[in-house]
């Protein structure tokens, strides 16, 4: 694997995370429990899609086959996606959506903070811009997790259930492989395993305030970020997200 091949994989991982989560969150548009949350979720989804344009745009450049961010988003099939499994999990109830958001935002904010020091100026610039958005996402999802976790018996039970369900998908974000080793050596991106301590501290603090119990297991579902095996949910998501370009190839507006 050349450095550019590894760099391309790294950029796909960043861009596919934000693309798939952005699409998932956008599924709430018009359905959220209150108007204010509906707008806030739509804003988050739009931020994530905006970040996708930057990551996948750069991925297309690095790949050097003349592909645009749109080409990469809409014309790849499930096995070519490199997002972690966490972000493709279905929304479930509002609590599970916000728990998934929080578990991802926490990792995302730590990752982007490290990427600001990337030796690749383009990566550092994207991280700088996305970092501000994600700082807000984390504040919002963290506060909501605390509010619902430390809320009524009903909301507490739902948030604990969401955490129990999603926790096995957290470990994959800290998995490392040859791509990560290459990126770390080039000074482009940190080794993901090095983010775990900060993550555990941050997540532990918020979940303690939310009176929620972190499951006592480090078992992790894997296979998303290396593309070995996604969950069955990704294909269903893509049929919706990519439908227009599949039915009307090259359609523009």
Q: Which of 30, 65, 121, 153 binds another protein (CB under 8 A)?
A: 153
The reply to whether 251 sits near another protein by the rule CB under 8 A is: no
Yes or no: say if 174 and 196 are a contact pair by the CB < 8 Å rule: yes
Yes or no: say if 149 and 210 are a contact pair by the CB < 8 Å rule: yes
E strand or H helix at 159: helix 153-166
Comparing CB distances to another protein, the nearer of 28 and 199 is 28
Q: Which of 143, 161, 164, 191 binds another protein (CB under 8 A)?
A: 143
Give one DSSP letter per residue of 21-69, joined into a string.
Answer: HHHHHHTTTTTSSSHHHHHHHHHHHHHHHHHHHHHHHHHHHHHTS---H
Comparing CB distances to another protein, the nearer of 18 and 44 is 44
Comparing CB distances to another protein, the nearer of 146 and 203 is 146
Q: Which of 5, 139, 177, 185 binds another protein (CB under 8 A)?
A: 139
Q: Give the x/- contact pattern for another protein in 154-193, rule: CB under 8 A.
A: x---------------------------------------
Yes or no: say if 62 and 108 are a contact pair by the CB < 8 Å rule: no
Stretch that binds another protein, among 56-64, 85-93, 103-111, 138-146 (CB under 8 A): 138-146
The reply to whether 34 sits near another protein by the rule CB under 8 A is: yes
The reply to whether 140 sits near another protein by the rule CB under 8 A is: yes
Yes or no: say if 91 and 165 are a contact pair by the CB < 8 Å rule: no
Residues in 97-136 at the binding interface with another protein, rule: CB under 8 A: 136
Distance CA 28, CA 64 (A): 36
Nearest distance in Å: CB 157, another protein: 11
User: Cβ–Cβ contacts within 10 Å for residue 13, how many?
Assistant: 24
CB proximity list for 218: less than 8 A, separation 6 or greater: 171
Q: CA–CA distance from 240 to each of 23, 44, 80, 126 (Å)? A: 10, 19, 17, 28
The reply to whether 43 sits near another protein by the rule CB under 8 A is: yes
Q: What residues line the site for another protein (CB under 8 A)?
A: 34-36, 39-40, 43, 136, 139-140, 143, 147, 151-154
């Amino acid at each position: 694997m050349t450095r550019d091949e590894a760099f391309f994989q790294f950029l796909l991982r960043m861009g596919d995370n934000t693309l798939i989560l952005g699409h998932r969150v956008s599924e709430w548009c018009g359905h959220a429990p209150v108007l204010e949350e509906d707008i806030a979720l739509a804003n988050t989804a739009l931020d994530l899609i905006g970040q996708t344009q930057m990551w996948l745009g750069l991925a297309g450049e690095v790949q050097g086959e003349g592909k645009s961010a749109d080409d990469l988003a809409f014309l790849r099939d499930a096995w070519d996606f490199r997002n972690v499994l966490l972000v493709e999990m279905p929304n479930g109830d509002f609590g599970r959506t916000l728990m998934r958001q929080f578990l991802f935002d926490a990792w995302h904010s730590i990752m982007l903070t490290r990427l600001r020091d990337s030796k690749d100026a383009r990566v550092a610039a994207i991280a700088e811009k996305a970092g501000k958005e994600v700082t807000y996402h984390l504040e919002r999802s963290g506060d909501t997790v605390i509010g619902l976790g430390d809320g009524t018996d009903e909301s507490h039970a739902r948030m604990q259930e969401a955490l129990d369900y999603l926790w096995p998908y957290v470990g994959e974000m800290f998995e490392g492989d040859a791509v990560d080793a290459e990126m770390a050596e080039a000074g482009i991106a940190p080794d993901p395993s090095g983010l775990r301590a900060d993550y555990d501290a941050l997540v532990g603090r918020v979940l303690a305030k939310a009176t929620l119990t972190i499951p006592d297991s480090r078992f992790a579902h894997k296979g998303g970020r290396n593309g070995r095996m996604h969950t069955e949910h990704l294909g269903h998501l893509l049929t919706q997200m990519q439908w227009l370009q599949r039915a009307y190839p090259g359609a523009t507006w």
